Amino acid sequence: MFAIIGIFVVFAAIIGGFLMEKGQMAVLVQPAELLIIAGAAAGTLLVANPMRIVKAIAAGLAGTMKGSPFTKERYLDTLKMLYQFLNKVRKEGLLAVEMDVEKPEESAIFKNFPGFLKDHHARDFVCDTLRTAITGGVEPFDMDQMMELDMEVHHHEAVQPVDSLTTVADSLPGLGIVAAVLGVVITMGALGGPPEEIGKHVAAALVGTFLGILLCYGVVGPLAANMGKTAAEHNEYLHVLRVLLLAFLKGSAPMIAIEMGRRAIPAHARPGFDEMEKTCKNKTEAVETTAAAA
């Protein structure tokens, strides 16, 4: 949502300033220049990237319009979910949760947290780690190494669309110059004609340069930066899961493991200890009451 507002502010400020200087909006409306720049940028994107990255860019751009999903509420839900899960492991043993990690969509615990299930990277990260723990024979140090490797691979994949979109943004000023040069070519062909006609061609050529720079620094570049921050936030989320799971696998009690995970949450989204404890225990008591009634 803020991305949309930001883009609106960029265009409103530029157009507003142009109109304050008695500029004519009709001069800026150059569909041919926009077609050259946008079409060439789309073409370079297709040439330089496989389809999976193109799809990831589209998904990432759609995500920037929704805002970051990694809010305090998302982290609190995650802590509640894992507190319930780890309590079940402590009371019934790792084998009791084998079906939960094999089929998380059918798990009595996981299915109450649809946001976690939709995030297939985080879901697989947790379930694969617990599946390995159930298998046995893996030391916590080796488990930590596996989780770290998983995070590195995922983060590398997550930043590929960001790097590709940044490359497109960097190419836009150059493509704007291409459009401007073509406008100059047309202008040279119109020499000897009416001065008004030559003026229109010169204006169109300059608008090409203007559009290339504007799209680079005012639209595509900031969107790529936004996608990069989202990728970094997802990596921070996985780091919280890693710290929490590792603490439990080393023998810490569920609440201690949850507290270690809470300490790893970025400051802007980190809940307080009392808030976390109240949320986790209230939720757990409600679940246990329901299970006893059944």
Mean pLDDT of the region 270-282? 88
Residue 288's pLDDT band (boundaries 50, 70, 90)? Answer: very low
pTM given for the model: 0.86
Residue 283's pLDDT band (boundaries 50, 70, 90)? Answer: low
Residue 289's pLDDT band (boundaries 50, 70, 90)? Answer: very low
| DSSP assigned state of 112 | G
Q: Please write the tens of the pLDDT for every residue from 214-229.
A: 999 999 999 999 999 9
Give me the residue spans of the domains in the chain. Answer: 32-293
State both tokens at 89. Answer: 């492991």
93-96 LR contacts (CB < 8 Å, sep 24+): 94/130, 94/133, 94/134, 95/134
- What is the CA 165 to chain-centroid distance, rounded? 13
Residue position matching structure tokens 């615990």: 109
Residue 29's pLDDT band (boundaries 50, 70, 90)? Answer: confident
At residue 86, what are phi and psi to the nearest 5 degrees? -70, -30
Distance CA 87, CA 45 (A): 49
Closest CA to 287 of 145, 129, 86, 152: 86
**Which residue would you say has higher pLDDT here, 225 or 192?**
225
Residue 292's pLDDT band (boundaries 50, 70, 90)? Answer: very low
Closest CA to 260 of 241, 274, 278: 241
Residues 6+ apart with CB under 8 A from 133: 94, 143, 249
Torsion angle, alpha carbons of 69, 70, 72, 74, to 10? 70
Q: Please write the tens of the pLDDT for every residue from 165-187.
A: 999 999 999 999 999 998 888 88
